[in-house]
A and B are shown apart, each in its own frame.
Chain A
Amino acid sequence: MNTHVKTPHGIQADLSRRSFLVGTAATGLVLGYAAVPGIDQALAAPSNFEPSVWYAIAPDGLVTVTCGKADMGQHIASTMAQIVAEELGASWKDMRVQLASNDPKFNDPVLGAQITGGSWSTMMNFDAMGRAGAAGRLALTEAAAAAMGVPAAELVVRDSTISHPKSKKSMSFADVVKSGKATKTFTPDDLKAIKLKTPDQYTMIGVSVPQLDIPSKTNGTAKYGIDVMLPGMLYGALVTPPVRYGATVKSVDDSAAKKVPGFVKAVTLDDKTATTTGWVVAVANTYSNARKAADALKIAYDGGPNAKLSSESLQTEARRLQALSDSGEYFVKDGDPNAAFGTAAKVLEAEYTTSINIHAPMEPMNATAEFKGDILHIYSGNQFATRSGAIAAGAAGLDPKYVVMHQMWLGGGFGRRLDADMMVPAVQAAKATGKPVKVIYTRENDMTMDFSRPLTLQKVKAGLDGDGKLVALSHDVVSAWPTQRWGIPDFLSPSVDKKGPLDAFTVNGADFFYTVPNHYVRAIKNEMAHNATPSGQLRSVAPGWTFWAIESMVDEIAHATGKDPALFRVELLDGKGKNDGGAQRLRNTLLAAMGLAGYGTKKLPKGEAMGVACVSSQERATASWTACVAHVAVAPSGEVTVKKLTVATDVGTQVHPDNIRAQVEGAALWGMSLALFEKATLKDGGIEQTNFDTYTPLRMSQMPEVTVNIIANGEKATGVGEPAVTVVAPAIGNAVFNAVGARVRALPITADAVKAAMKA
């Protein structure tokens, strides 16, 4: 997490959090919530025991944990249940999960809002869930002690049973809850004072218990946003303009659409939140009819200011901005790199780029909206209920406190569902028709209107002294600013040169753990790209591009000075000064990956090689230390085949080893997919790729062997959903260089680029 996120409004002190507001966003929205009667009460029968907002124990002994995090396949709901169960002493078979509404009482205990991302969830909820679980155990034990007439201190809690070994008496959780005697309440100070288990006492944390959501995902019963059915519901199909952002609708001719049976009306969005531009939604009785009607609409657009822009124009603009000495703001400024370059024995300079990338979760964006009395109900799988509820309110012209968000399982998130665009057509179609409306994007809508990973351009310059020591590094990062777009000041960070806030989610990772005495990182906003391709947080965000540049450059330096690139990294990770601790962990992780892959010991055929990279993703303060050795084969045509990825990651403490493996493997394959197979381009203001024929994530036949090695050294639990994404592309790029001497500096790495670099 960005350390600047949590401090400004003192949310940590506010344990009730009912009063918490995210802030007055640039859009003028204040986020809030009305305690709508009937929402939470319906979930909790009066006889349940609720030691905490996070879970309830029913008289039958079932423990239902309410997860305030979006579950998009990282099984976070199950993980929360696991942490609660550990301290509560419940049996895993008694655990259930449900997804929270946007009631602020379910806000993240650290972030003070409902947002899921940054690989933050486990690390930030570990303590709160543990304390909640422990509080329940204490309350149950106290009640059981009274009922049994024995001292509470002599009781043992295990498998949902409280027993008194001396007298052989015992009571199940169900017995205690049924008795109605478990009534102890806890103030925030009481909670803080609870002594939690030490790792050696864990019986559940660290165990790969079966994920609670998995059975429902093998039989079709898990309900995603797209599966919501409301009585009397209509369907909305979108027509989105040819330009990604900035188009306006001049006219809509619905004469042909009117001939489609079941057609209700076409609604041109009037989006005061400026989340969407130029969208029209065709509403009908079924989705097929809505789609037919949408296709029959004749819409004239004004393409707006971005209608002529292309990937090339965004990149040219990025180069122009980078060349200006006064553009951007400083994220890191140690020493004086420019002066050091003047006296350096050797200076290396290179430009690294990444293309636009699309999230494309398998479940296309969708939302269902229903106005009921004063309340707007939204059903959608969303990663940022706090802000998305406010956008929905903005689209409805309501105070946000009248919006209730019903969370669903997410058919993939990857950062895409942090955004709220899908709320706008659903809300305005429901408003215009007076009926509940479910809007479903086509894959084409979903791809061309993605809040994409921005096109990035980075210039890195390195200065070496006479001994080949890296003494200076300057790093300019030019991109759209995804987080600034949210309009929530607290998500921005002050720049070190006090020029104003910067979007650290464009430069995180560039503040690495290598010791370089003169080092600066400049975050430069590409306003043109920011406007033309509103960007979002794509799995791993900034470290997905900053480490591409850094880890490629570090390799280039090593080769330029005749050193082994892996050992050169070990040298740079000396743990001096501010890098103490982190550098050593990263070094150890790198060495582990090297050993496991047989780096430098395996003899490989011609055209094959290994390459390494190591990263401190996601953020300096919350890093999971991750290293990768990629083994590639490069054909004379330039085609790259990844034969094996060996990933090692130091996650501190592992709650669920099997889940960590699944996440790290998925993340590593994402990294590979972004490195080799995924590329979106802008032309005439629009994204050219529309479906999985032209935007082509990795398929089963392209999968290499992947080995994931988890290092759990007892440090605090860190996140695992993203870091491995960031380490793979540079490892592959470096392996390609080692195999055939071709240095490719643009992602994705194409066969043409490799071939061209082989010749060069």
Chain B
Amino acid sequence: MTNLNINGRNMSVEAANDTPLLWVIREQLQMTGTKFGCGAGLCGACTVHLNGEAVRSCQTSVSDAVGKKITTIEGLSAKGDHPLQKAWIAEQVPQCGYCQSGQIMQAASLLSKNSNPTKEEVVAHMDGNLCRCMTYSRIQKAIMRAAADMRTASATGSERRPT
């Protein structure tokens, strides 16, 4: 038995130590929002967070995730309303949608550290995530929109706090 903390819940799974985290999440926990694209760290479809850092779950063994906080697309926000998810809808980003969980998780790890990224920073951070439907320009726009929303929210948030 391996104990994992995923989206804030403790779960135990039965899997050999070298099993890629991706398949444990998808099959055993039946959380299928995280996708398999290449199995080789080349596409980013399988991106999840380990302690807030974006990692490729196809390249992470389940044993490496033990003791860390795993976040998947299902746990990014309570109601699918993370600023990035809202921006993704506002910009109508997804086409087939298959890459988009990975894109959103990758983008979230950028915005959690840098809520005012330049276009170059966005490209550098996102370049490992393939989108075969080529929705790249909308992904960029959505990240910028979410970043702006997050900045506004934190500005109004800090104004309100003293009252």
Contacts and interface: CB of A to CB of B under 8 A. Distances in A.
A361 B96 contact: yes
A529 interface: no
B94 to A, nearest CB: 4
Interface in B18-35: 19-20, 23, 26-28, 30-35
Nearest to A217: B97
B126 interface: yes
B130 A411 contact: no
A61 interface: no
Interface stretch (A10-18, A477-485, A520-528, A663-671): A663-671
Given A286-B23, A288-B19, A223 B32 contact: yes
Contacts of B33: 219-221
Given A219-B74, A219-B85, A692-B40, A363 B140 contact: no
Contacts of A410: 96
Nearest to A208: B92
18 contacts: A73-B133, A210-B89, A213-B97, A218-B100, A219-B73, A220-B31, A229-B30, A229-B32, A361-B132, A362-B98, A363-B96, A364-B36, A440-B36, A673-B134, A692-B130, A698-B134, A700-B127, A703-B137
A362 B35 contact: yes
B38 A412 contact: no
Contacts of A208: 92
B54 interface: no
A223 B28 CA distance: 16
B39 interface: yes
B96 A665 contact: no
A159 interface: no
B130 A362 contact: yes
Contacts of B34: 220
A691 interface: yes
B144 interface: no
Interface residues of A, number: 60
User: DSSP majority for the B interface?
Assistant: loop
Interface string B63-75: 0000000001110
B139 interface: yes
Contact of B37 (A218, A288, A364): A364
A633 to B, nearest CB: 18
A662 B91 CA distance: 11
Contacts of A670: 134
CB-based closest 7 A-B pairs: A220-B33, A217-B97, A73-B95, A411-B98, A73-B96, A219-B80, A669-B134
A122 to B, nearest CB: 15
Nearest to A442: B39
Interface string A246-261: 0000000000000001
Contacts of A227: 26, 32
B117 to A, nearest CB: 13
A214 B38 contact: no
Interface in A199-258: 208, 210-211, 213-224, 226-227, 229, 235
Contacts of A412: 96, 98, 132-133
Interface in B113-163: 123-124, 126-127, 129-140
A443 B27 CA distance: 18
Contact of A220 (B38, B43, B73, B99): B73
A313 B30 CA distance: 47
A432 B151 CA distance: 57
B32 to A, nearest CB: 4
A364 to B, nearest CB: 7
A699 interface: yes
B38 A443 contact: yes
B136 A703 contact: yes
A489 B18 CA distance: 50
Given A443-B37, A691-B40, A286 B100 contact: no
A371 interface: no
Interface in A670-726: 670, 673, 691-693, 697-701, 703, 706
A363 B38 contact: no
B56 to A, nearest CB: 12
A362 B20 contact: no
B42 interface: yes
Interface string A283-297: 000111000000000
Given A226-B36, A362-B43, 4 more contacts: A72-B96, A73-B95, A210-B89, A286-B19
Interface in A613-665: 658-659, 662-663, 665
Given A214-B89, A287-B23, A697 B130 contact: yes
Contacts of B32: 220, 223-224, 226-227, 229
B131 A362 contact: yes
Nearest to B73: A220
Contacts of B124: 701
A173 interface: no
B27 A287 contact: yes
Given A73-B133, A665-B137, A700-B126, A693 B95 contact: no
Given A412-B133, A692-B40, A693-B42, A361 B98 contact: yes
A89 interface: no
B43 A692 contact: yes
Contacts of B133: 73, 362, 412, 666
A670 B96 CA distance: 15
Nearest to A659: B92
A143 B99 CA distance: 46
Interface in A101-134: none
A289 B139 CA distance: 35
B104 interface: yes
Contacts of A360: 132
A630 B130 CA distance: 23
Contact of B134 (A74, A217, A666, A693): A666
A548 interface: no
Contacts of A703: 134, 136-137
Given A411-B98, A701-B127, A215 B89 contact: yes
B80 A288 contact: no
A286 B39 CA distance: 16
Contacts of B57: none
